[in-house]
């Protein structure tokens, strides 16, 4: 059997679990919802990803990491495609991704269907450190494009929130 | 002019608007009035540069002459830039910077919302992403307009001064020419009338809460879409393009 015949979608998906968000290294690109599709046709692997934010510099790093991961496993024939539509939404972050974000100290985003989000009102965000809901947003723009900066009024710790998009 | 030429020009206009405003906001990097604001400004600059890249990449493809997004950004001269004059205006004080963004965002959001329904799939996809980011931009610049206007006596005066100075450039946002006419007819871009209504409504609501007065429409400076700019754009380009002009083709 040639190398090409060993290449299956399942194997690629397993490999890509190793590709993490460079800015939140606990969460994989699948859990983040950035990985949209993997297809293997006549030995050619096509990986489709979508950017979180239009200008997110991490996208280029993720693309390079995917290419590195594939090459390291002896896969030569591949293409990493970027698509814009449908536009990425934080609703695509998986439940395991959400709990990993929280464990990392980042409050996960509320759902876009949340009634407060629909009305454009500020969400009620629980502090990822102490769980208190007595929190306040300091700035809608945090350390990266996808995060807002919050502060907990109870434990007084500042924290990042992955903002709803 | 045919539709192909119109589409190319339209993509350049959208790309240039975002690129130039992004550069201006980026000038604040390391100079913000407080750390959170410094970060917030550069976050917005990053969103805008991403949107600029999308449009300039598309423009390069539509043109089909082998130029890249970088060629379009770094190797065109002042008269070849077709951004609206509002975005090239100097940062001034913080009220000035915020006011410039507020006027831009109040126009940009309804425009991107309308572009999500474009008959051109690529533009609809770009707008579909941009609209989410621009919603945050408008919310932030509106909140600051209210805080400045309804703040201290000094912040109120500064916000009103900025608004009065920048108002003349809002006319340029709504200019429509052959490019728009061809693309409106083809369903690629929206007519400006509903965008103007949405802009007016946002301005009215926010200024009322900010206790600021909407300036009276007087002489409106226009011409940006035809490559006629205020004196500020040349200096901006001189700085932005320096590296590629001095070391053509430099990469890192």
Identify whether residues A14 and A77 lie together within a single domain.
yes
List the single residue in A87, A88, A139 with the smallest CB-CB distance to B40.
Answer: A139
Identify whether residues A57 and A104 lie together within a single domain.
no
Between residues B96 and A116, the one the model is more confident about: B96
Identify whether residues A71 and A99 lie together within a single domain.
no
User: Would you tell me how many other CB atoms lie within 10 Å of the CB of residue B36?
Assistant: 15
pLDDT digits (tens, 9 = 90+) for A117-165: 656 677 889 999 999 999 999 888 888 888 999 999 999 999 999 988 8
Identify whether residues A52 and A73 lie together within a single domain.
yes
Give chain B positions within 8 Å (CB) of A83: 125
Question: Is A74 domain-assigned?
Answer: yes
Q: Does A56 contact B39 at a Cβ distance shorter than 8 Å?
A: no
Question: Is A89 domain-assigned?
Answer: no
Token pair belonging to B76: 């065109």
Residues A80-107 have a mean pLDDT of: 93
CA nearest to A84 within chain B? B125
Question: Is A88 domain-assigned?
Answer: no
Question: Is B177 domain-assigned?
Answer: yes
Would an 8 Å CB–CB cutoff place A123 in contact with chain B?
Answer: no
Of A82, A107, A128, which closes a domain? A82
Counting the structural domains of chain B, the total is 1
CA nearest to A138 within chain B? B36
pLDDT digits (tens, 9 = 90+) for A4-47: 557 899 999 999 999 999 988 999 999 999 999 999 988 899 99
DSSP secondary structure string, A42-58?
TTEEEEEE--SSTT-TH
Q: Does A120 contact B139 at a Cβ distance shorter than 8 Å?
A: yes
Question: Is B151 domain-assigned?
Answer: yes
Of A55, A82, A109, which closes a domain? A82
In degrees, rounded to 5, the angle at the alpha carbon of residue B165 between the alpha carbons of residues B240 and B49 is: 30
Write down the pLDDT at residue A1: 42
Kindly tell me if the per-residue pLDDT of A116 is higher than 70: no
List the single residue in A86, A140, A165 with the smallest CB-CB distance to B140.
Answer: A140
Question: Is B251 domain-assigned?
Answer: no
Check if the beta carbon of residue B177 is closer than 8 Å to that of residue B224: no
Measured distance CA(B173)–CA(B171) in Å, rounded: 5
Do the bridges between strand A135-139 and strand A147-152 make them parallel or antiparallel, or are there none, so unpaired? antiparallel
Q: What is the pLDDT along chain B (252 residues), one digit of tens a residue?
A: 899 999 999 999 999 999 999 999 999 999 998 888 999 999 999 999 999 999 999 999 999 999 999 999 999 999 999 999 999 999 999 999 999 999 999 999 999 999 999 999 999 999 999 999 999 999 999 999 999 999 999 999 999 999 999 999 999 999 999 999 999 999 999 999 999 999 999 999 999 999 999 999 999 999 999 999 999 999 999 999 999 999 998 987
Identify whether residues A46 and A108 lie together within a single domain.
no
Of A54, A82, A110, which closes a domain? A82
Identify whether residues A76 and A7 lie together within a single domain.
yes
Interfacial residues of B (vs A; Cβ cutoff 8 Å): 36-37, 39-40, 43-44, 46-51, 53-54, 121, 124-126, 128-130, 132-133, 135-136, 139-140
Identify whether residues A76 and A116 lie together within a single domain.
no
Write down the pLDDT at residue A102: 93
**Structural domain boundaries, residue A99:** 95-162
In degrees, rounded to 5, the angle at the alpha carbon of residue A149 between the alpha carbons of residues A144 and A154 is: 150
Q: Which string of b and e fits B153-172 if b means at least 16 CB within 10 Å?
A: eebbebbbebbebbbbbbbb
List the single residue in B49, B50, B129 with the smallest CB-CB distance to A87.
Answer: B129
Q: Does A86 contact B128 at a Cβ distance shorter than 8 Å?
A: yes
Identify whether residues A74 and A26 lie together within a single domain.
yes
Question: Is B165 domain-assigned?
Answer: yes
Question: Is B252 domain-assigned?
Answer: no
Question: Is B20 domain-assigned?
Answer: yes
Identify whether residues A101 and A46 lie together within a single domain.
no
DSSP secondary structure string, chain B?
--HHHHHHHHHHHHHHHHHHHHHHHHTTTTT-SSHHHHHHHHHHHHHHHHHHHHHHHHHHHHHTSS--HHHHHHS--GGG----HHHHS---SHHHHHHHHHHHHHHHHHHHHHHTT-SSHHHHHHHHHHHHHHHHHHHHHHHHHHHHHTS-HHHHHHHHHHHHHHGGGGGGGG---HHHHHHHHTTSS--HHHHHHHHHHHHHHHHHHTT-PPPPP-S----GGGT---THHHHHHHHHTHHHHHSTT---
CA nearest to A87 within chain B? B129
Question: Is B235 domain-assigned?
Answer: yes
Residue B164: which CATH number?
1.20.1260.10
Beta bridge partners of A107: A161
How sure is the predictor about A3, in pLDDT bands with cuts at 50, 70 and 90?
A: low
Question: Is A122 domain-assigned?
Answer: yes
Identify whether residues A15 and A56 lie together within a single domain.
yes
**Structural domain boundaries, residue B213:** 3-246
Identify whether residues A115 and A143 lie together within a single domain.
yes
List the single residue in A56, A85, A120 with the smallest CB-CB distance to B128.
Answer: A85
Question: Is B176 domain-assigned?
Answer: yes
Identify whether residues A120 and A69 lie together within a single domain.
no
Counting the structural domains of chain A, the total is 2
């Amino acid at each position: 059997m040639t190398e090409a015949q060993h290449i299956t979608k399942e194997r690629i998906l397993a490999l890509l679990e190793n590709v993490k968000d460079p800015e939140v290294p606990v969460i994989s690109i699948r859990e983040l919802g950035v990985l949209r599709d993997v297809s293997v046709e006549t030995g050619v692997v096509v990986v489709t990803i979508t950017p979180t934010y239009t200008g997110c510099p991490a996208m280029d790093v993720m693309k390079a990491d995917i290419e590195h991961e594939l090459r390291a496993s002896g896969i030569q024939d591949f293409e990493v495609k970027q698509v814009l539509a449908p536009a990425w939404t934080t609703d695509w972050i998986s439940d395991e991704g959400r709990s990993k974000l929280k464990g990392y100290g980042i409050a996960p985003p509320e759902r876009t269907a949340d009634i407060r989000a629909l009305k454009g009102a500020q969400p009620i965000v629980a502090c990822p450190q102490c769980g208190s809901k007595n929190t306040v947003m300091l700035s809608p723009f945090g350390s990266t494009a996808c995060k807002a900066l919050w502060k907990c009024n109870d434990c007084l710790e500042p924290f990042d929130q992955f903002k709803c998009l | 002019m045919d539709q192909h030429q119109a589409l190319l020009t339209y993509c350049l206009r959208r790309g240039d608007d975002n690129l130039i405003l992004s550069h201006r906001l980026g000038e604040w990097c390391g100079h913000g009035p407080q750390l959170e604001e410094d970060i917030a400004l550069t976050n917005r600059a990053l969103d805008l540069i991403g949107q600029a890249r999308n449009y300039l990449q598309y423009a390069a493809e539509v043109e089909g002459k082998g130029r890249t997004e970088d060629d379009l950004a770094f190797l065109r001269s002042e008269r070849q830039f077709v951004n609206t004059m509002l975005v090239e205006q100097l940062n001034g004080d913080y009220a000035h910077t915020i006011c410039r963004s507020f006027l831009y965002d109040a126009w940009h959001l309804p425009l991107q919302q309308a572009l999500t329904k474009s008959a051109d799939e690529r533009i609809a996809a770009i707008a579909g992403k941009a609209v989410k980011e621009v919603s945050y931009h408008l919310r932030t610049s509106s909140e600051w307009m209210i805080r400045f206007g309804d703040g201290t006596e000094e912040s109120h005066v500064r916000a009103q001064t900025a608004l009065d100075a920048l108002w003349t450039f809002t006319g340029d946002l709504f200019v429509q020419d052959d490019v728009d006419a061809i693309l409106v007819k083809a369903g690629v871009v929206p007519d400006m009338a509903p965008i103007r209504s949405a802009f007016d409504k946002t301005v009215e609501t926010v200024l009322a809460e900010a206790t600021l007065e909407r300036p009276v429409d007087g002489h409106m400076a226009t011409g940006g879409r035809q490559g006629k700019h205020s004196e500020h754009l040349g200096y901006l380009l001189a700085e932005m393009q320096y590296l590629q002009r001095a070391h053509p083709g430099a990469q890192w």
